[in-house]
Amino acid sequence: MPEPLTDAQQVCWRAYIESSWALHTRLEEELRAATGLSMADYHVLVALSEAPDHRLRMGQLAGRLVFSPSRLTYQIASMAKRGLVRKQSCPQDGRGQEAVLTDAGLAALTAAAPLHLATVRDTFIDDLDDAEIAALTGVFGRLGPRLRATSHSA
């Protein structure tokens, strides 16, 4: 049986989990209302926009987003129906599949980015001072790689 959380640890955990859920919900609601994109759509578009030639192998994309292969397949199929991405065989390896950002997907990302940035600033960044930003960056910069490496989703 794991050791119970101390009072301070419990307060920290609850503050984190409740605030992170509220933040994600707010980001999702505002993005979807203004653009029709979900947060998952937005993150796929960002990942592809930052990739060489705006394309990533499906496995790489799933790992970056911490999506299971089936979840990513569903996500890409949904986005392909809307013309935001396309799925194609890898040029170097015909067995592999890549997700490719379309011009419409890049346009959707370009239109959504200012709204998303404004929401991120309003709900998160602008309430933090430089020391808090550095502390959070340190904590999640350290936890993130371990969490992604041990995820059961990818």
Would you state the pLDDT for residue 80?
98
Our CA angle for 119, 78, 84, nearest 5°, is 65
Q: Residue 2 falls within a domain, yes or no?
A: no
Q: Residue 30 falls within a domain, yes or no?
A: yes
Q: Residue 50 falls within a domain, yes or no?
A: yes
Structure tokens at 6: 């101390």
Would you state the pLDDT for residue 152?
57
Residues of the domain holding 138: 10-149
Q: Residue 145 falls within a domain, yes or no?
A: yes
Give the pLDDT confidence of 34-71 residue by residue, as tens digits: 999 999 999 999 999 999 999 999 999 999 999 999 99
Whole-Å CA distances, 6 to 16, 136, 143, 146: 15, 21, 20, 23
* Contact present, 36 and 76 (Cβ < 8 Å): no
Q: Residue 1 falls within a domain, yes or no?
A: no
Give the pLDDT confidence of 117-149 residue by residue, as tens digits: 999 999 999 999 999 999 999 999 999 888 878
Is the pLDDT at 151 greater than 80, yes or no? Answer: no
Give the pLDDT confidence of 84-120 residue by residue, as tens digits: 999 999 877 777 899 999 999 999 999 999 999 999 9
Q: Residue 26 falls within a domain, yes or no?
A: yes
The pTM score is 0.89
Q: Residue 104 falls within a domain, yes or no?
A: yes
39: CATH: 1.10.10.10
Count up the domains in the chain and report the number.
1
Q: Residue 3 falls within a domain, yes or no?
A: no
